[in-house]
Amino acid sequence: MTKRIDATEKAIELIKILQEKHGDLMFYQAGGCCEGTQPQCFEKGGFYQRLGDVCIGTIENTEFWVDKDLYEYWKHAHFTLDVIDAFGVGGFSLETPLKKTFRIEYRIFTPEEELSLEPVKYIE
């Protein structure tokens, strides 16, 4: 099965630090507005998804949720979670006090990958 999301070593290291401090986590990536389109990290259950939002996979036992409209736009793309030294838009994400910001890099799936994508989970 082809994963829809992976993470860089830097992102995994930061997730582990945040898990030690906050426990179980979740990611949510919206399609715009205040938080832009960067992923936000919350304590698990600290953000309520909307009907139709999509979990595209997990990183370090942390679900990665995507706004339903953003998913429709990017459903043919692989996400790679990374982290940079910067103060993110909005500042609601758990990494903000550490002066870090999660970000996503995208690439389009190959035709072969499209045939074996991991299933997604929807909020119903």
- Per-residue pLDDT reduced to its tens digit, 77-118: 999 999 999 887 667 899 999 999 999 999 999 999 999 999
pLDDT tens-place string over residues 56-74: 999 999 999 999 999 999 9
- Whether the pTM exceeds 0.75: the reply is yes
How far apart, in whole angstroms, are the C-alpha atoms of residue 2 and residue 16? 24
Second CATH level (architecture) for the domain 5-123 = Sandwich (2.60)
Please compute Rg for the chain using Cα positions: 14
